[in-house]
């Protein structure tokens, strides 16, 4: 019971401070749409090409912009010098970690949806073929990024060169997620003869499950004061 209360307290606190400040979310949304815009300059405006590579581009945008959010996730507490207090107050460090993860998940999901819309408008993409598959790919993919990202943010928080370390460590870990999320999204957008979207989705679910468990078990030594 205590665990759940702690989880919701951290989740609520972070969400509230984010909704009041709107610091991260505004930056991220702007950043996401801006990159989509930049892609058109870098790659030309050929609709066929853009349509073909849009699932990959979408997930790359999410990867890069989520690093910005993840990097900030322990930053507010650290700057005010209350991270150690938070860790001490929290009845469980795992609940604290999961609460942070939930907040990051919400932020990444919002950015993902908005970026996807921006992409559909700017690249003139047709409506997705398989909407539930697309939604599932978004949810599972963002969950995986949030879990591992929050873990690595906790890992790098007190190291030197934090901002360079986070993507360097995080991106190679996310390669399986990137692969399966991109192919699931592609199947959802265009439909597929082999219907491979389901198997990519199950790989995504297994990935999430393994790392949600492993990160929750392994988080304690990272947050110890």
Partner 1 sequence: MRYITAVVLFIFFAFAQWWGLTQTPPDAMMGEVQKIMYAHVPAAWNSFLAFFVVFIASIAFLIRKKRRPEPAEGMFWDRLARSAAEVGVVLTGLTLCLGSIWGRPTWGVWWTWDARLTTTAILFFLYVGYLSFRKFVDNPERRAKLAAPLGVLIFLNVPIVYFSVKWWRTLHQVQSSPSTMDPAMVLALRLNAFAFLGVLILFIYWRYQIAKRKSEHEEAL
Query: Smallest distance, Å, CB 161 to partner 1?
Result: 5
Distances, alpha carbon 8 to alpha carbons 101, 102, 175, 211, in Å: 11, 9, 30, 21
Among residues 19, 127, 175, 193, the one that binds partner 1 under rule CB under 8 A: 175
DSSP 127: P
Number of residues that bind partner 1 (CB under 8 A): 31
The number of angstroms, rounded, from the C-alpha of 140 to the middle of its chain's C-alpha atoms is 10
Q: Does residue 156 bind partner 1 (CB under 8 A)?
A: yes
Report the nearest approach of partner 1 to the CB of residue 177 (Å). 8
Q: Which of 76, 98, 87 is nearest to 3 (CA)?
A: 98
Residue 6 contacts residue 95 (beta carbons within 8 Å):
yes
In this structure, what is the dihedral angle of CA atoms 213, 160, 142, 55, given to the nearest 10 degrees? -130
Per CB under 8 A, 82 contacts partner 1:
no
Say whether residue 161 binds partner 1 (CB under 8 A). Answer: yes
The only residue of 27, 173, 192, 205 in contact with partner 1, by rule CB under 8 A: 173
Residues within the interface to partner 1 (CB under 8 A): 151, 155-156, 158-161, 165, 168-169, 172-173, 175-176, 179-180, 183, 199-200, 203, 206-207, 210-211, 214-215, 218-219, 221-222, 224
């Amino acid at each position: 019971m205590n665990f759940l209360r702690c989880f919701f307290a951290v989740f609520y606190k972070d969400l509230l401070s984010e909704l009041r400040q709107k610091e991260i979310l505004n930056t991220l949304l702007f950043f996401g749409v801006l990159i989509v815009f930049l892609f058109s300059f870098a790659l030309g405006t050929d609709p066929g090409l853009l349509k073909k590579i849009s699932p990959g581009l979408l997930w790359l945008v999410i990867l890069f912009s989520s690093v910005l959010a993840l990097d900030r996730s322990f930053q507010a507490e650290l700057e005010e010098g209350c991270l150690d207090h938070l860790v001490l107050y929290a009845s469980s460090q795992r609940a604290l970690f999961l609460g942070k993860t939930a907040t990051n998940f919400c932020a990444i999901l919002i950015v993902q949806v908005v970026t996807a819309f921006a992409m559909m408008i700017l690249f003139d993409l047709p409506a997705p073929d398989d909407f539930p598959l697309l939604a599932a790919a978004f949810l599972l993919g963002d969950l995986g990024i949030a879990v591992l990202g929050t873990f690595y943010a906790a890992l790098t928080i007190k190291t030197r060169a934090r901002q360079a370390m986070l993507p360097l460590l995080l991106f190679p870990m996310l390669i399986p997620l990137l692969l399966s999320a991109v192919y699931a999204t592609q199947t959802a957008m265009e439909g597929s003869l082999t219907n491979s979207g389901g198997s990519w989705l199950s790989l995504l679910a297994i990935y999430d499950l393994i790392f949600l468990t492993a990160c929750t078990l392994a988080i304690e030594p990272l947050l110890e004061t």
